[in-house]
Amino acid sequence: MNNIAIIGGGAAGLSAAVNLKRAGREVTLFERGDRLGRKLSATGNGQGNVTNVHMGVEHYHTDDEPLLARALARFGEKETVEFLSSLGGVFLPDARGRVYPAGRQASAVTDLFRRELERLQADVRLNSQVTALARTKGGFSLTTAAGKETFSAVILAAGGCAAPNFGTDGSAFALAKGLGHTVLPLSPVLVQLKTDPGEVRGLKGIRVDASLTVKRKGRPLGTFRGDVLFTESGLSGDAVFRASSYAMAGDEIEIDLLPDVSREQLESALQKGEGADCLLCVVNNGLGRLLWKRCGGDKRRLLALLKAFPVTVKGTLGFAYAQATRGGVPLKEVTESLESRLVPNLFFAGEMLNVDGDCGGYNLQWAFTSAHLVSEAISCR
Ligand SMILES: Cc1cc2nc3c(=O)[nH]c(=O)nc-3n(C[C@H](O)[C@H](O)[C@H](O)COP(=O)(O)OP(=O)(O)OC[C@H]3O[C@@H](n4cnc5c(N)ncnc54)[C@H](O)[C@@H]3O)c2cc1C
């Protein structure tokens, strides 16, 4: 197999291209945008959180956990760091296990890929959106504005629907559907949550290190510790992003604004000082004034608000603000090598597949893992 098209120049497509070129295969990489790796360059708040040392299937949502677990066992965080280091640079974990390039610049990770593809003299076509993909006798015919070309194998690595400003508007799912694949319902994850505006009024811009519990009909679904940022329309921050993988409209969220402080400690602190002053050095002053108003001067109610500030989920800010996509081509429709069970020599990698990970490097890990499984299978043929 030596005439391979890769559709999508993101983390997955770039990794597959490097692997296949290193294995001596001829590949053509089609990227609809005018630059490679635009989303990769924006990851981790621009710092590039490429994987996580606490890797495991429990950090993912998918339709086939056993397959995903085997995939991560074959190519996990260690292999990712080795692979990225083979391109150049140094990659280090922070205290929470999130792995970043030592220079803390995501765009430099993209530059490593670009440099390696140049060295390998890969055929990279920018501004080349693939608009149709069809089976032919010996393989596939692929259409771009420049015309039709044929390939013996195709890797679909065109991303999901999240953050369409980076070229991923979900339109590439039509290519998979056209070849008979199912696309499971698509929804945004790792995204800001919308709440009842009244519940967060006056709190915009306040950031707390909190613990947030999502409840459905009173039943806890999960607790998430980390940054919570109050916004005009709801909640943001890394704890909220992680919670967004579980929460849906109608769920209740309770925010423990002081997770490291016991009720007894708080009770005693609140005894000192009258009015909102009792909250000095307990919470941010702006937050304190609002909480005092909301508790109506009742310190028992104030304590309850501090340990379980309630908000109701009204939805999310949608794909435009999301970091990842839930849904896509089911793992049940692909083999261990992520080759289509319906169309031989059609492979999938990255966010197009129904795998989405928690915040913290898990989605890029999936892009690298899937790209490696696919390129290994193609290289062996
Ligand atoms: C702001 C932001 C921050 C993030 N931060 C992190 C993080 O720190 N850590 C982490 O693990 N994950 C993070 N993610 C998620 C992660 O970036 C994605 O899951 C990952 O990049 C997906 O890789 P991919 O190769 O599957 O798709 P993408 O990187 O989305 O690449 C797909 C590419 O395909 C191209 N394309 C689409 N359709 C076509 C077509 N028809 N023809 C040709 N080309 C096409 C697109 O232009 C795009 O360049 C973040 C996401 C965002 C939006």
Ligand 1 and 14: CB distance under 6 A = no
pLDDT at 16 over 90: yes
Ligand 1 and 367: CB distance under 6 A = yes
CA distance 197 to 184: 31
CA distance 64 to 61: 9
| Interval 2-20 mean pLDDT | 96
In the chain, the domains with their CATH numbers are: 4-188+321-379 (3.50.50.60), 193-316 (2.40.30.10)
pLDDT at position 1:
64
Ligand 1 and 16: CB distance under 6 A = no
| Interval 194-200 mean pLDDT | 92
| Interval 171-191 mean pLDDT | 97
pLDDT at position 300:
96
| Confidence band for 2, pLDDT divided at 50, 70 and 90 | low
Mean pLDDT across the chain? 96
Q: Tell me the sheet residues that pair with 132.
A: 143
Residues with Cβ within 8 Å of 67's Cβ and at least 6 positions away in sequence, in order, are 331, 336
pLDDT at 347 over 80: yes
pLDDT at position 381:
86
Determine the distance separating the centroid of ligand 1 and the alpha carbon of 229, expressed in angstroms.
24
pLDDT at 114 over 90: yes
Closest ligand 1 atom to Cα of 49: 8
Closest ligand 1 atom to Cα of 158: 34
CA distance 150 to 264: 71
- pLDDT digit string (tens) for 243-288? 998 999 999 999 999 999 999 999 999 999 899 999 999 999 989 9
- pLDDT digit string (tens) for 116-131? 999 999 999 999 999 9
Closest ligand 1 atom to Cα of 10: 31
**Is 234:192 a contact under the CB 8 Å cutoff?**
yes
